[in-house]
A and B are shown apart, each in its own frame.
Chain A
Amino acid sequence: MMGRAMVAQAKRLLPVAGVLLLTYPLWPGASEYVLHVMTLALVYMVLAMGLNIVPGFCGLLDLGYVGFYGIGAYTAGLLTIHYDLSFWVIVPLAALNGALWGALLGAPTLRLTGDYFAIVTFGFSELVVLFLTNEIWLTRGPLGLPGIAPITLNLSWLHPQWYFEFYGKAPNFYLAALLVAGVYFVMTRLEDSRLGRAWYAIREDPLAAACCGVDILRYKVIAFAISAAIGAMGGCFYARWSMFLSPDMFKFWESFLVLCMVVLGGLGNIKGALVGAAILVCLGELLREGLGAVGLPPETRFMAYGLIMVLIMRFRPAGLFPAIAASGRANPLLAALSRRIAAGDFAGDRGDNRDTPA
């Protein structure tokens, strides 16, 4: 009872904490560094929500998610440098490019199950890094892509003074928050829909799902494409925010990190993905400082992530938020149904009326 009261208390404080965090850039003496970390956490929230679709909703282990992140980032970077396109045009283009590669990779390989699929996705992300490193004519290889213009919002057609450049931390922070809100909105709606239910059915029992009329391969490819599109959107923001890209930003470790976030939060739980991302990004920063202080290289933090995975699997295998298909429970349709059940509308309907004596 004590625990439940505390959870209720924490839930009441949640909006307050949210407002405090969202207004942080406006505080006097707000640290640039903290704001940077918060923005980074928001980027990873987008990635974690995107990845969540494949292992969380569909139950397929995806070890190559960072490949789509990289594709999105380089799509945005190159389009900005060569064609000077606006961020607002690039976001849908990067998402489409991500979805295209997701579908191209998914269509032939999603027939594979379990570990085999994981290996293919792993190979794919390595392929993306190799491509980015070696196709120097396009990506400048290991030199990276410097000088990507920051995001601008050109509303001068409305008012001559309305031309904004997203320099500095605060505007990017709010843009990232907007992106997280948008992806969260889409994800909750998808989760509580025919599409989301088909995904959960595949995760729970593919064979039974097929017998319920779900075209498994088709819905896996859709999941993979949407997941890739969200990853690419995250990359797109990242490119215009950091203004520099290099192939080693998209190494396998990033996939593993995002997967850790999803597993820590609870596979298939959207809120869990958000919390997992926030925790691991903050932890990463703390470890970067802490490990340096004791003279260890910062890469040692990946051992800490590995340890977290082990501990989660041992003590809380379903993650911090184990509930799946959670958005559906808030749907007014179900609330109405739940009231009818509580009122005993179906009480006289337990099939006993057909109970005949032997």
Chain B
Amino acid sequence: MTPLLELDRISKRFGGLHALADVSFTVACGEILGLIGPNGAGKTTLFNCISGLHPPSSGTILYAGSGGLMRINGRKPEQMTALGIARTFQNIRLFNSLTVLDNVRIARHCRTHANFVRAVLRTRFQRAEEQAIVEAAMERLRFVGLAHHALADAGNLAYGDQRRLEIARALATEPRLLLLDEPAAGMNPRETRRLVDLIQAIVATGVTVILIEHDMKLVMSICRRLVVLDHGTHIAEGPPAAIRENPRVIEAYLGRGAVHA
């Protein structure tokens, strides 16, 4: 397996709080890796480190770029996006007053070039690029099944649609690595089934996915491999079946004593 992302002893401290302590694992190209753990385990913090929102306090993030593995710690979010790392948010963060289409068009930013002068003169280059942006955006919207809502305001979408719009927006940045932060949170069973299909369709296009999710049925059904965090430390890693039996994991979720109960 070729690694896409290698985390080496990542730590993140907020003042005296160790949100992450020496977390290391590797993500292979093309896999769906589940990242699980109780609330406050540091899963979202880890996503923030990888996506550049909060650079890690120590440790190394290696990413397989064009010239082999490179260290990407401390790069800014937009640089991470340009490298091909996209994410969604646990608490949905759409551009609510803008249309569904605009939300996705904004995500084409890092793959397009028209500047101030070209925008004012509306040059042939700029018009062609705008056309391409709309087409690329519509392609992602069709992919997640929101094309017919393209001109609606994002804030007016149903909850499940908003989650899928976030995914479409992330996909429009042409990611190689997609970080999904609890995409099924608040979804009904039908919406969740659609989401599972969507994630599998995304992976089928060659995108690697790291998935934070509390819905264990969902995680167990689509991830071949899981990493478990608890109190900022990496406590287990392996296939779902092994994780389910792992005493440290059971203890993390249910408390000490639960293992023998």
Tell me the A residues contacting B by CB distance below 8 Å. 186, 189-190, 193-198, 200-201, 204-205, 207-216, 222, 226, 324-325, 328, 331, 333-334, 337-338, 341, 346-347, 349-352, 354-356, 358
Contacts and interface: CB of A to CB of B under 8 A. Distances in A.
A85 to B, nearest CB: 24
A205 B150 contact: no
A349 B142 contact: yes
B193 A213 contact: no
A83 B246 CA distance: 83
B218 to A, nearest CB: 11
Interface of B: 51-53, 76-78, 81-82, 86-87, 89, 93-99, 101-102, 105-112, 114-116, 119-120, 122, 126, 129-131, 133-134, 138, 142, 144-148, 150-151, 164, 169, 173, 189-190, 193-194, 197-198, 201
Contacts of B126: 193
B95 A214 contact: no
A341 B152 CA distance: 11
A189 B106 contact: no
Contacts of B164: 351
A346 B142 contact: yes
B120 A186 contact: yes
22 contacts: A186-B120, A190-B119, A194-B115, A194-B129, A195-B114, A196-B119, A200-B95, A204-B96, A207-B77, A207-B93, A208-B95, A211-B51, A211-B87, A212-B81, A213-B78, A213-B111, A325-B97, A346-B147, A349-B142, A349-B148, A351-B144, A351-B194
B78 A208 contact: no
The 5 closest A-B pairs by CB, nearest first: A351-B145, A213-B110, A193-B119, A346-B147, A204-B95
Given A351-B198, A356-B197, A197 B109 contact: yes
Nearest to A194: B114
Nearest to B129: A194
A349 B148 CA distance: 8
Contacts of A190: 116, 119-120
A213 B173 contact: yes
A104 B133 CA distance: 33
Contact of A341 (B53, B108, B148): B148
B197 A349 contact: no
A350 B194 CA distance: 11
